[in-house]
Structure 1
Amino acid sequence: MSPPPVPIRREIVLGRNSTVWRRLATHPALAGTSFTAIGHDDLSGFDFSPHDRVWVFSYSRVPAENHAMLARLGAAGVAEIAYLSSSSAIVTRRTRCWEYPRVKQQAEDEALALPNGKVLTVGLMHADAAELPAGDNIATSYDMLADFMRSPAWTDGDGRRRHLFRIEPRPYRTGLERALARLYGAALDACGAQPCLLRPIDLLLRLLGMRWYGYTFLSNRLWISTTS
């Protein structure tokens, strides 16, 4: 029989200056709750307790820094480490050419290697679906994330994960943009395990104000094919 869970008495957010936490800090769903937000620089000297749940919003492009952060939390003996990951990490099933998904996937694996580690996977964050790129998006609203943090339920991955997102379709601005997205998908397939060959095209699409390219495009496609 497994031991009873340790009661959570304090909620800590590691990543005080992250974009996501800045948007959540004043969210109405978290009114009346007590979240303590700290920065990465506070980590080494912070007095953690065995009754803390730590929400890890902090992120570094350097894998060794993410490793050191998670190792510090593991050594602190907190009740739970909830690592905020990205739906884009799924693209590592096909390629590791993009840095951000690769680093997030590595941090996911390291968080789950800790006995008290859990992974919360979110999609494209938005306050309003109109902010999202055209096409079918794997997306998470700030309302969804705030509600989850107020009352977390880890319903995936043997109770150690939560996939907190839904499919949000957004219209293409023109028929030409829709056609370009179809052609881009075909080119992505043709590139196989080297989709970063399309980076010059990604740059052009970005200049044209089209934001559905790159690992966003592939991760949306992979999740939709997995969940449909």
Structure 2
Amino acid sequence: MINHAYFLNLNICAIGHSEIASFDFNQSDLVWIMSYSKSTLENNEMFRLLSLTGAKDFIYISSASVNVVNDTKCYRYPNAKFAAEFNAISILGARILRIGLIYTDLCTLPAGLTMATSIAMLSNYIGEISNGKPFNTSNLFTPTYRPFINIFEKYLYNLYGYLMNFFWFYPCMLRPIDYFLRSMNMKWYGYLFLSNKKYGL
């Protein structure tokens, strides 16, 4: 969840999806669409409502992790974001901005390589575009590396990479291991691991 306090100085009004029908939009509005649902039907209904508002300019904030969709469809979140990108373009003519894992403090990021976007980076970019700067990128994230806690975590990371390569045809086979890693507060597993590896090649 993005703290709206970061955007208070940008002359931006934040509303929820339930307020779209009653909000007073106009043609000069630039609408930034942030994460809403993992359901394609729910996202499409939101896009449909936005298409009726009179606003003409939309930017959909997506995820860097959609890059895994070309390799596997087994992860729900990247699939939902990828479908939302397509439908935001189809229904609204929206532009797409892909961001990485959001953070306020680097120490909260997983160990290893992560495609990450700081709150400051995102709020600055939203401010620049909202104030008339050309929209000149579809990716707003940087490769960020954090050291592993210890040799054991690095060993698990490398072992997980080996298993990911072995189960390339259906990486969700590793879901039981993902739950174990999550319980150990090792957050680099699953589609995040696969996505970061692909960007790191």
Tell me what 2:104 maps to: 127
**TM-score, structure 2 normalization:** 0.92
Matched, 1:86 2:40: no
Of 154, 163, 166, the match for 1:178: 154
Tell me what 1:13 maps to: none
Q: Which AA in structure 1 matches 2:128?
A: S
Change (3 A) 1:108 1:130: same
- Deviating 4+ runs (over 3 angstroms): none
1:73–1:81 CA contact under 8 A, matched in 2: no
Matched, 1:191 2:167: yes
| SS in structure 2 at match of 1:45 | coil
Deviation at 1:61, TM superposition (A): 2.0
Of 36, 41, 49, the match for 1:72: 49
Of 117, 124, 128, the match for 1:151: 128
Q: Supply the RMSD in Å over aligned alpha carbons.
A: 1.4
Matched, 1:168 2:144: yes
May I ask how many residue pairs the two structures share in their alignment? 197
Q: Which AA in structure 1 matches 2:136?
A: T
- Structure 1 runs not aligned, ≥5 long: 1-18, 157-161
2:35–2:62 CA contact under 8 A, matched in 1: no
Deviation at 1:37, TM superposition (A): 1.2
Matched, 1:204 2:173: no
Higher-RCO chain (CA-CA 8 Å, sequence separation at least 6) = 2
Tell me what 2:18 maps to: 41
Tell me what 1:103 maps to: 80
Q: Which AA in structure 2 matches 1:154?
A: F
User: Percent identity between the aligned chains?
Assistant: 36
| SS in structure 1 at match of 2:55 | coil
| SS in structure 2 at match of 1:38 | coil
Change (3 A) 1:173 1:76: same
**TM-score, structure 1 normalization:** 0.82
